[in-house]
Amino acid sequence: MTLDIGAARDDGDVESFARLADEVFFGGRSSFRMRYPAAFSSGNRENLMVARDGARVVAGVASYRARLRLAPTLVLETAAIGAVCTAPDYRGSGVSTQLLEMTRARAIEEGVHLLLISGTGPLYQRLGGREVGALDELHARLDELPDRSDPYNRHEQPEAALVDACWAAYERQTVRFERARDEFAVLLAGHLRPFENETAALLTSPHGDGYAVVRTGMEGSERVGFLVEHAGDVDRWLPIAAAEARQQGCDRFFTRLPTRPGSWQGRVEETPMTGVIALADAAAAAGLIIDHLNQQAGAPRWGIDARGDDVVLHADGRVVLEGDTGDLLPFLWGGPGREPAPWRLPSFRSDGLNFL
Ligand SMILES: CC(C)(COP(=O)(O)OP(=O)(O)OC[C@H]1O[C@@H](n2cnc3c(N)ncnc32)[C@H](O)[C@@H]1OP(=O)(O)O)[C@@H](O)C(=O)NCCC(=O)NCCS
Q: What is the pLDDT of residue 302?
A: 86
Q: What is the C-alpha end-to-end distance of the chain, expressed in Å?
A: 29
Cβ(24) – ligand 1 distance below 6 Å: yes
91 lines ligand 1 (CB under 6 A): yes
Q: Whose CA is nearest to atom 27 of ligand 1?
A: 92
pLDDT at 356: 31
Extract long-range pairs of 226-229: CB within 8 Å, 24+ residues apart: 226/253, 226/254, 226/255, 227/253, 227/254, 227/255, 228/191, 228/255, 228/349, 228/350, 229/191, 229/349, 229/350
Residue boundaries of the structural domains of the chain: 136-271, 282-333
96 lines ligand 1 (CB under 6 A): yes
Mutate to test the pocket of ligand 1, among 123, 125, 127 (most ligand atoms within 8 A of CB): 123
Class of domain 136-271: alpha beta
Check if 119 has its Cβ closer than 6 Å to any atom of ligand 1: yes
Looking at residue 155, what is its pLDDT?
98
88 alpha carbon to ligand 1 midpoint, in Å? 9
Alpha-carbon gap, residue 211 to 230, rounded angstroms:
5
Looking at ligand 1, which residue's alpha carbon is closest to its atom 1?
A: 85
Q: Whose CA is nearest to atom 8 of ligand 1?
A: 91
Q: Report the separation in Å between the CA atom of 91 and the middle of ligand 1, taken as the mean of its atom positions.
A: 6
Cα of 52 vs centre of ligand 1, distance in Å, is 17
Report CA-CA distances (Å) from 100 to 38, 43, 94, 125, 236. Answer: 20, 20, 10, 11, 40
Pocket test of ligand 1: the residue of 1, 61, 90, 91 to mutate, having most ligand atoms within 8 Å of its CB, is: 91
For position 272, what pLDDT does the model report?
56
Q: Angle at CA 11, nearest 5°, toward 97 and 348?
A: 55
Q: What is the pLDDT along the chain (356 residues), one digit of tens a residue?
A: 789 999 999 999 999 999 999 999 989 887 888 777 778 889 999 999 999 999 999 999 999 888 888 777 788 888 888 899 999 999 999 999 999 999 988 988 898 888 887 777 788 878 777 776 666 789 999 999 998 899 999 999 999 999 999 999 999 987 788 888 988 898 888 889 888 899 999 999 988 889 999 999 998 899 999 998 899 999 999 999 999 999 999 999 998 887 778 889 999 887 654 455 555 566 677 778 888 888 888 999 888 887 777 888 888 989 988 887 777 766 666 544 545 555 555 554 444 444 33
pTM given for the model: 0.79
Task: Please tell me if the CB atom of residue 123 comes closer than 6 angstroms to any atom of ligand 1.
Answer: yes
Alpha-carbon span 140 to 106, nearest angstrom: 42
Give 196: exposed, middle or buried? Use CB within 10 Å, 0-12, 13-18, 19+.
exposed
**What CA–CA distance (Å, rounded) separates 77 from 218?**
37
Locate the ligand 1 atom nearest the alpha carbon of residue 121 and give its number.
29
